[in-house]
Structure 1
């Protein structure tokens, strides 16, 4: 193994540029853009001025170091550009002092072109004369080159220069357009953001954000490869490695600098070997954090110190109470601290809660307060996310650790018991931050439930939620493997989830392949076994293998202690398959079994009633058909979609049996019910239209009833849904093949609808599609040229309804 590369924690410019390039992450595009803009500044009269803004430790100096390095390697720029990288710890209170700093930086970098002795004369001059003389010297020695000035902590420079110094600097830049500035700052200050400030709008500003977990993983992997540790890089890709990264992320708050410090802990798996280096790291980092806190104004310092003692995010009112300050004062200071990157906030209803952005900052307070032998809170929390709860317990019970390690493990167990599993909480919160509202609502509760059972399973689910199906499937395959060390339950869940993914992708054979291992797992929970059988039955049905589908559904039905909801759905689906096979009696028997099943959920009961009602209708048992649909209407807890479907089914039966008024009444009830939802559901009206078409009526009555039907839909704002059903109805007519209705009948049918909807704007497009479809049917469905009466989009709708392949 190679020696570890020297990665300076606080002064990246001391690290070899090649090593900085090797571990560079997140900002490749930003760096490339900065190089190009400085190149343009050096080779044209168009000067760019760049400002990179971010809290301490977010990689500003790393970025600037690479920028200077890449510019310095450019042979063409060596003749066109001189670089003055200023010492960030020096102070300038006048333009004269700033120019002197620039000149000395050039002396250091280009000793053949600039000499410190040249400055001796300036020390005997008055300030104004010295400034003028030094500016001329600088310009003279630059010749026709562009000067790049690299300034770190621009906010401190502007504070030192003050309003007068800033004005003189801006005037110098305007009068002598040879200068381009690349600067960094911890935050945007008024000297840059206020409209009346001298440098408002002067800089192209880039905000540097902290690392995401994925970007942190990339950084740590690159550090491992730089250090000749490919096995560590490979470990980071494993579920345990990813969990370790989240543990580091919890401590670092996404701070680049802290990840470099913490990279040494990645593979330490023994608590005894972990404690010593952790304490060493605390000793090294404490001065850094103490300095950052000392830099703050007194009121902000008190807030940060108090938050360092808090276990949970704290409301503003509690901070105000504990710090003897007004709510307004604390809110104002917290906003400033958030801008500086010291704290972060979250909303709970209308209340804002605050916590330290970097948990490691707690060491400043804890080191001073921890004067006893009690375990350090920060390390206890670290162990809570470094190991999962079961692993902590197993390590403590194993008895192979020293007394200090045992004390910390015991502390981690007690704290998890009191406050919940921190590792699982962080996993869920991480996905909460990554997922949008819609995906979060759909997936977060599932991720949370999986996190309690298996972190790896929750990770797979989270990747699936983010749309990373391949990553999710790879994780699930690892979990399902016998050698994964996961419980049978977790392995079974992994198989089920993989099967579901493949099913949704239409890869039915692979879905079955993913589910099959469950049946070879001894002691697999009956619920999961029933789910696997049910899902495989559905997959076989999609493949057209009805007998295998029936076998799997039957296996669920007779499985001892199978969940009643799965038994109900297996009975229902078996009834559907029997119906598809034309075995109506068996279908009716299964639907009846669902309806009679003790404790069956209301939804499958309602589904069974709807399907049994239609089955009765198709075997000409109108009485029992109507009774089933009416029972659905009485199930007020059934999903609205099923109740609407029952209304429409009853309306269809009434219209088909000559009870028009009853049919319209029950149809209106269904439409009214469907529009009560936030997202209205008004069902499928194709059967209703077909029933009206097939009824034996005089032309005048048919026209009258068509008009009345349109009015009912218009009254319930459902005209578009009626138009969709009318288009679908064309497909039903076309599929009758040689038995197409007579041309006169089709023409009258089209005319009736056109007359009924002629004054309804929303019905014009559906009617145009319907008219073209009728004309196509009148031509026996053989003249595709008729379809050209529609535009491309409308034509495609009709072609889909008729199941015609679009012509090229």
Structure 2
């Protein structure tokens, strides 16, 4: 078992432009955030789980093109779910199968220069390699818009084809356009049947969901679902085949149960598949949780944007639902949020239509859950560290590490702490929490005095509570007698000297020559102004340990 590893060797990735490049040992590079930079052949080999949806969309678009009718689709899915991969393959399919009917135009993933309706149609002409200088020389904005659309209509009539536009991150594009420009855009789409559009977005955003918005009810929505465990397994196998990963299947069997649990915990994000793959290939275990939580942290802007798009009441309901961890009924949400049940039901239905939550009929009741499970993990990560442990972190550690690995990790981290590496304190608290019963008390007894020494009193109190629980469960009298010493030390920090004195006396009742208890008792007596008694106690300490 190898325990030494840094983050870069887990991910084997470097930061570039729009995302991460994941370099493999073969000559192939996997672009985790920019799949359009990968070859069509590799994209097809890595495509799993969405074959039927792709086939259906291609068929629908082809039929519409033959009937000369436009189509407008929005593919919705969480960040990292594979929208870019899906859209890029759809583009290739249309390009190959309907060259006599459609002109596919794929815009860049980020189109920052489009903030008017005219900009979009000028960009389409540019992608079609048409000179737009005459159009852009016009003075009036409406003239530019009209000229660009007329030029595209001319191309369509001449070639006997219609345009199909592929747009990523439609929510970002629409955010750049004023409402008046969006109205112009919809009007052109409605009056001219030469345009179809397939777009992606991480969620249904206000420009599409609000009744008074130009594009309300305009798109046919297609949701990309998370991968199942079997689809994740299939994707990892395909990565191994492309990379010529020797012995991967043998290693996969060793980790299969762990990955199955992780999929249940996190959902089936394709982006996490690369992390799982690296874990298995590397065969190393330390710092894996850092790599995992780094990926979750990268979702912060996206998750924050989700909250910003919701109304105040929707935010509260959504946040309360996240706090349940699993599913919850409208009644449970109503009670916890203190919002009337009728309002909760109305908002939950709206949130489900917009793709934020999923309803699950269970007997006579309907329960709801957040569509993306990574959201819950991220939300817990945003809580302050202290007595509120991130339960998802504990779940992760218990799912991924064996009992022996957890014991070894605690040992390694504790050695670092003793060497002066205070930064490992937080990790040690997590590792201590999930140690097997036979080792947990020992781990807590080592960690608690260190927390007190470093002034992490809130954490120390938390660990003392866990020690008390462990002592009660195991009926361990010896363990129970060790706890007052730590309580007394905390009282000293808090300047509660009478309580500290009482705690140290409890320890000394069991062991009158306990050096630490005597020394701390002397400190408590001195702070209470009982100097002669304190001096007697310090002399006893010197008798026990003259050094």
TM-score with structure 2 setting the length: 0.59
Uncovered stretches (5+) of structure 1, i.e. residues with no partner: 416-808
Query: Pairwise mapping of residues 194-593 of structure 1 onto structure 2 (< 5 A)?
Result: 206-236=222-252, 238=253, 240-260=254-274, 262-266=276-280, 271-346=285-360, 350-372=364-386, 376-387=390-401, 391-392=402-403, 395-396=406-407, 401-403=412-414, 407-412=429-434
* Bigger proportion of residues as helix: 1
Q: Bigger relative contact order, structure 1 or 2, given CA contacts below 8 A and separation 6+? A: 2
SS of the residue corresponding to residue 51 of structure 1 reads strand
Shift of 1:101: 1.0
Corresponding residue for 1:125? 140
Question: Do structure 1's residue 98 and structure 2's residue 129 form an aligned pair?
Answer: no
1:387-423 Cα distance to aligned partner (Å, 9 max, x none): 5xxx4367538976534676544423589xxxxxxxx
Q: d(CA) in 2 for partners of 1:288 and 1:190?
A: 15
Q: d(CA) in 1 for partners of 2:381 and 2:213?
A: 42
SS of the residue corresponding to residue 380 of structure 1 reads helix
From the superposition, tell whether residues 89 and 394 of structure 1 become closer, same or farther in structure 2 (CA, over 3 Å): closer
SS of the residue corresponding to residue 382 of structure 2 reads helix
Corresponding residue for 1:69? 92
Contact in 2 for aligned 1:271/1:401 (Cα 8 Å) = no
Contact in 1 for aligned 2:117/2:181 (Cα 8 Å) = no
From the superposition, tell whether residues 278 and 63 of structure 1 become closer, same or farther in structure 2 (CA, over 3 Å): closer
Q: d(CA) in 1 for partners of 2:207 and 2:381?
A: 37
Shift of 1:211: 1.9
Shift of 1:244: 2.9
SS of the residue corresponding to residue 272 of structure 1 reads coil
Shift of 1:73: 5.4
Shift of 1:359: 3.6
1:312-369 Cα distance to aligned partner (Å, 9 max, x none): 5444334333333222223333333334444444456544444444343234433332
SS of the residue corresponding to residue 247 of structure 2 reads helix
SS of the residue corresponding to residue 211 of structure 1 reads coil
Corresponding residue for 1:51? 73
Corresponding residue for 1:29? 52
Root mean square deviation of aligned Cα = 4.4
Question: Do structure 1's residue 82 and structure 2's residue 82 form an aligned pair?
Answer: no
Contact in 2 for aligned 1:9/1:261 (Cα 8 Å) = no
Shift of 1:64: 1.0
Shift of 1:266: 4.1
Query: Pairwise mapping of residues 608-647 of structure 1 onto structure 2 (< 5 A)?
Result: none
Contact in 2 for aligned 1:86/1:102 (Cα 8 Å) = no
Between the two proteins, the alignment pairs up a number of residues equal to 400
SS of the residue corresponding to residue 248 of structure 2 reads helix
1:278-333 Cα distance to aligned partner (Å, 9 max, x none): 34334434344334333433333333444444455444334333333222223333
SS of the residue corresponding to residue 294 of structure 2 reads helix
Q: d(CA) in 2 for partners of 1:224 and 1:293?
A: 38
SS of the residue corresponding to residue 348 of structure 2 reads helix
Q: d(CA) in 1 for partners of 2:386 and 2:27?
A: 36
Q: d(CA) in 2 for partners of 1:254 and 1:217?
A: 10
Contact in 2 for aligned 1:34/1:50 (Cα 8 Å) = no
Question: Do structure 1's residue 178 and structure 2's residue 197 form an aligned pair?
Answer: no
Q: d(CA) in 2 for partners of 1:201 and 1:342?
A: 17
From the superposition, tell whether residues 258 and 289 of structure 1 become closer, same or farther in structure 2 (CA, over 3 Å): farther
1:358-384 Cα distance to aligned partner (Å, 9 max, x none): 343234433332334986432211123
Contact in 1 for aligned 2:296/2:378 (Cα 8 Å) = no
Uncovered stretches (5+) of structure 2, i.e. residues with no partner: 1-23, 415-423, 438-547
From the superposition, tell whether residues 369 and 185 of structure 1 become closer, same or farther in structure 2 (CA, over 3 Å): closer
Q: d(CA) in 2 for partners of 1:175 and 1:331?
A: 38
**Deviates further, 290-299 or 184-193:** 184-193
Q: Which entry has the higher C-alpha Rg, 1 or 2?
A: 1
Corresponding residue for 1:579? none
Query: Pairwise mapping of residues 123-202 of structure 1 onto structure 2 (< 5 A)?
Result: 124-125=139-140, 127=142, 129-142=143-156, 143-144=158-159, 145-152=161-168, 172-173=188-189, 176-185=192-201
SS of the residue corresponding to residue 103 of structure 1 reads helix
Contact in 1 for aligned 2:105/2:163 (Cα 8 Å) = yes
SS of the residue corresponding to residue 147 of structure 1 reads strand
Shift of 1:6: 4.3
From the superposition, tell whether residues 251 and 329 of structure 1 become closer, same or farther in structure 2 (CA, over 3 Å): same
1:157-199 Cα distance to aligned partner (Å, 9 max, x none): 7898899877765664565443332234556789989999998
SS of the residue corresponding to residue 87 of structure 2 reads helix
TM-score with structure 1 setting the length: 0.42
